[in-house]
């Protein structure tokens, strides 16, 4: 039986509609995936030596054990967002001559082969090998490794149990933050609290039965739960959220643009992919912290321009690059209606404008790292408003890939094509290039002035630019329509 299931899985992979299409993106994704795994593997291999150097007084095994609690929580956190138990595709099996237990075992069994379970293996296998060559006892190390893998599997199955509940997510987030907070402010060392537990798995190797038993328990709970809901109106049913009609009457003041603005706002709030995009964009405000806090970058205005363009323009990039593919599902309706294409585009431009302003306001606290940073961010925001908005709208007319709105954006390359990568060149590259040239040839002030001047110029000619864009959309209409019709493109 299990062989049949594997055969089915194999077919579904190679025959999926998107297989073979957009090979470039697939290769890119595969490359990124391999890169991630390779980095983790490298980290695992180097970990022993790093720890020896950083904390020479403690055994690396002990230090690793200290941090494992965070590893486990972080892994659960990532899984919560990115890993779902795929159940829908087993619908056709339900009425066939296969017992439910087998189906459930199949669903749960195949989740073991998820890429998420590789993370721990890839990191800790090299680490264990290094540790073994350093003369640590083999039984202890190997069984410790086995325990870690069992723990990974535990979080695999735990995730499926808690995945549907927002409360579980809240608890997870609070735990992670409060642990970190307690640690940071030196109130309580969570590391020291949990270290003996994880170290115990190494010191008393046969403790691996504990995670093993936990795994069996979690598997059993999953099994029982899934078997109970394996009905069309149970797990196999898509979630239906009660709709809340909203009026958004305040948009009326935008006149002819109002219906589109309302539509765009609803588009963003009522669809998973767009909504997550907003949250991600907001989170990117913290991106600056990584660089501003480092001495190396303190006197590198070019880096600051990159950050400025990036942080104030993150929503512009994330949302803008897929215009009008967001409306791809009903683009044929839009095109058969009596709509002023111009207003449609203006509405999108307004949304992005607001986002740029908001993102700029959020970056103001970075003044803490010097007033120059705020100046750079102002220049970048103005440049984004004047130049990048028309540019990204213009490139939007090259989009012809459909987007399903209700899918998660994580690792979702739907709607992505070479265009998206090409857009980033003028959007991100050009201002940095301009700034760099003027900064080194003339001065910091001149470089800022040129960005601001270009932005203002673009804004002044906004109407002309939007007219060009509108025309472009009109000429590309049929190509877009045909592209948007292709599902799983």
Q: Where on the chain is the footprint of another protein (CB under 8 A)?
A: 240-245, 258-259, 262-263, 266-267, 270-271, 329-333, 335-339, 405-406, 478, 481-482, 485
Q: Least distance to another protein from the beta carbon of 489, Å?
A: 14
**Residues 351 and 264 sit within 8 Å (Cβ to Cβ):** yes
**Residues 434 and 302 sit within 8 Å (Cβ to Cβ):** no
- DSSP states along 188-245: --HHHHHHHHHHHHHHSGGGGHHHHHHHHHHHHHHHHHHHHH-STTTTTSPP-PPP--
Q: Least distance to another protein from the beta carbon of 324, Å?
A: 13
Q: Least distance to another protein from the beta carbon of 481, Å?
A: 6
Q: Least distance to another protein from the beta carbon of 250, Å?
A: 15
Phi and psi angles of residue 402, each rounded to the nearest 5 degrees, phi first: -70, 150
Secondary-structure percent of the chain, ordered helix, strand, coil, rounded to 5:
80, 0, 20
Q: What is the largest CA-CA distance in the chain?
A: 78
Phi and psi angles of residue 136, each rounded to the nearest 5 degrees, phi first: -70, 150
Nearer to another protein, 144 or 326 (CB): 326
Q: Cβ contacts of residue 247 below 8 Å, gap of 6+?
A: none
Nearer to another protein, 227 or 275 (CB): 275
Nearer to another protein, 220 or 279 (CB): 279
Q: Look at the block and give the residue holding tokens 């806090």.
A: 293
Nearer to another protein, 143 or 405 (CB): 405
Q: Least distance to another protein from the beta carbon of 334, Å?
A: 9
**Residues 403 and 414 sit within 8 Å (Cβ to Cβ):** yes
How many C-beta atoms lie closer than 10 Å to residue 238's C-beta? 7
Nearer to another protein, 32 or 479 (CB): 479
**Residues 272 and 279 sit within 8 Å (Cβ to Cβ):** no
Give the CA angle between residues 468, 324, 83 to the nearest 5°.
150
Q: Least distance to another protein from the beta carbon of 235, Å?
A: 17
Q: Which residues of 267-284 are buried (b: 16+ CB within 10 A; e: fewer)?
A: bbeebebbebbeeebeeb
| CA dist., res. 346 & res. 336, Å (int) | 19
Nearer to another protein, 40 or 403 (CB): 403
Q: Least distance to another protein from the beta carbon of 394, Å?
A: 21
Nearer to another protein, 3 or 478 (CB): 478
Q: Least distance to another protein from the beta carbon of 466, Å?
A: 18
Structure tokens at 181: 């907070």
Q: Least distance to another protein from the beta carbon of 280, Å?
A: 19
Nearer to another protein, 195 or 405 (CB): 405
**Residues 374 and 367 sit within 8 Å (Cβ to Cβ):** yes
Structure tokens at 24: 């470039």
Q: Least distance to another protein from the beta carbon of 330, Å?
A: 5
Nearer to another protein, 219 or 484 (CB): 484
**Residues 304 and 375 sit within 8 Å (Cβ to Cβ):** no
Q: Least distance to another protein from the beta carbon of 344, Å?
A: 10
Q: Cβ contacts of residue 290 below 8 Å, gap of 6+?
A: none
Nearer to another protein, 108 or 481 (CB): 481
Nearer to another protein, 274 or 318 (CB): 274
Sign of CA dihedral 45, 50, 51, 57: positive
Phi and psi angles of residue 350, each rounded to the nearest 5 degrees, phi first: -65, -45
**Residues 473 and 345 sit within 8 Å (Cβ to Cβ):** yes
């Amino acid at each position: 039986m299990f062989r049949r299931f594997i055969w089915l899985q194999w077919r579904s992979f190679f025959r999926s509609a998107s297989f073979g299409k957009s090979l470039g993106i697939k290769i890119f994704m595969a490359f990124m995936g391999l890169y991630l795994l390779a980095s983790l593997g490298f980290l695992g291999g180097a970990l022993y030596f790093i720890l020896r150097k950083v904390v020479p007084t403690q055994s690396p095994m002990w230090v690793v054990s200290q941090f494992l609690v965070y590893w486990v929580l972080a892994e659960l956190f990532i899984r919560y967002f990115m890993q779902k138990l795929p159940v829908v595709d087993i619908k056709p099996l339900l009425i066939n001559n296969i017992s439910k237990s087998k189906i459930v075992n199949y669903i749960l069994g195949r989740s073991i082969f998820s890429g998420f379970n590789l993370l721990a293996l890839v990191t800790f296998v090299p680490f264990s090998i290094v540790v073994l060559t350093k003369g640590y006892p083999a039984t202890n190390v190997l069984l410790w490794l086995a325990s870690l893998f069992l723990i990974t599997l535990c979080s695999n199955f735990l995730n499926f149990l808690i995945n549907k509940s927002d409360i579980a997510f809240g608890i997870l987030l609070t735990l992670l933050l409060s642990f970190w907070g307690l640690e940071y402010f030196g109130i309580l060392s969570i590391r020291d609290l949990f270290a003996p537990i994880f170290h115990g798995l190494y010191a008393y190797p046969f403790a691996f039965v504990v995670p093993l038993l936990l795994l069996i328990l979690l598997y059993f709970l999953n099994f029982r739960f899934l078997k109970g809901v394996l009905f069309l109106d149970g797990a196999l049913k898509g979630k239906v959220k009660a709709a809340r009609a909203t009026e958004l009457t305040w948009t009326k003041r935008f006149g002819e643009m109002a219906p589109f603005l309302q539509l765009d706002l609803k588009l963003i709030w009522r669809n998973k992919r767009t909504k997550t995009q907003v949250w991600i964009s907001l989170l990117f405000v913290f991106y600056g912290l990584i660089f501003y806090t480092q001495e190396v970058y303190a006197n590198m205005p070019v880096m600051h321009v990159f950050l400025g363009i990036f942080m104030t323009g993150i929503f512009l990039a994330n949302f803008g690059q897929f215009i009008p593919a967001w409306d791809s599902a009903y683009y044929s309706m839009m095109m058969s209606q009596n709509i002023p294409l111009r207003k449609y585009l203006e509405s999108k431009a307004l949304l992005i404008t607001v986002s740029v302003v908001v993102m700029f306001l959020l970056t103001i606290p970075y003044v803490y790292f010097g007033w120059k940073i705020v100046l750079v961010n102002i220049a970048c925001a103005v440049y984004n408003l004047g130049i990048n908005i028309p540019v990204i709208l213009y490139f939007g007319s090259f989009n012809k890939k459909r987007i399903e709105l209700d899918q998660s954006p994580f690792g979702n390359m739907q709607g992505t094509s070479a265009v998206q990568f090409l857009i980033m060149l003028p959007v991100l590259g050009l201002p940095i290039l301009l700034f760099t040239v003027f900064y080194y040839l003339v001065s910091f002030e001149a470089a800022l002035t040129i960005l601001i001047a270009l932005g203002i110029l673009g804004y002044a000619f906004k109407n002309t630019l939007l007219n060009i864009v509108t025309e472009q959309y009109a000429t590309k209409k049929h190509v877009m329509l045909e592209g948007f019709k292709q599902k799983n493109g």
